[in-house]
Amino acid sequence: MSYIPSALRRFVTQRAAGQCEYCRFPQTASFFAFEMEHIIAEKHGGLSIAENLALACTYCNRFKGTDLGSLDPDTKKLTPFYNPRLQQWSNHFRLDGAIITPLTPEGRVTVKILQFNLSERIIEREQLISSGE
Ligand SMILES: [Zn+2]
């Protein structure tokens, strides 16, 4: 992965308000430092510029990897992931208690491949909710 200057890292982190831009988990509640995620992976020609970077938790970044999308589980059509630079989170996902429910095809492939509702992630969200965050 390319070197990302610290000023750009700071900008991306502040723009995201310290939350993972995919699952919305707060950096302050995570044991691991969040990462600079290339929305379009470098392998596919994505650049290390603000417009192509998102703040991502280790789960989301690891599960997304260099993928750009997947087959929608409902329609089986090739569908891009939710893009935090171009789309609004609340149009594609809804928080139902500690479960993230997808609302669109982009939401469905993102929830599936980034494994938003893995049991340990649901438990972490439940703990956050019960602590008032
Ligand atoms: Zn995340």
How many Å lie between the centroid of ligand 1 and the Cα of residue 34? 9
Predicted pLDDT of residue 1? 67
How many Å lie between the centroid of ligand 1 and the Cα of residue 55? 8
How many Å lie between the centroid of ligand 1 and the Cα of residue 69? 16
Instruction: Please identify every stretch of the chain with a pLDDT value under 70, giving residue numbers as ranges.
Output: 1
How many Å lie between the centroid of ligand 1 and the Cα of residue 113? 12
How many Å lie between the centroid of ligand 1 and the Cα of residue 121? 9
Select from 92, 114, 112 the least CA-distant residue to 102.
Answer: 92
Cβ atoms of 51 and 85 within 8 Å: the answer is yes
On whether the pTM is more than 0.85, the answer is: yes
Predicted pLDDT of residue 114? 98
How many Å lie between the centroid of ligand 1 and the Cα of residue 91? 17
pLDDT (tens digit per residue) in 57-72:
999 999 999 999 999 9
DSSP-assigned letter for residue 26: B
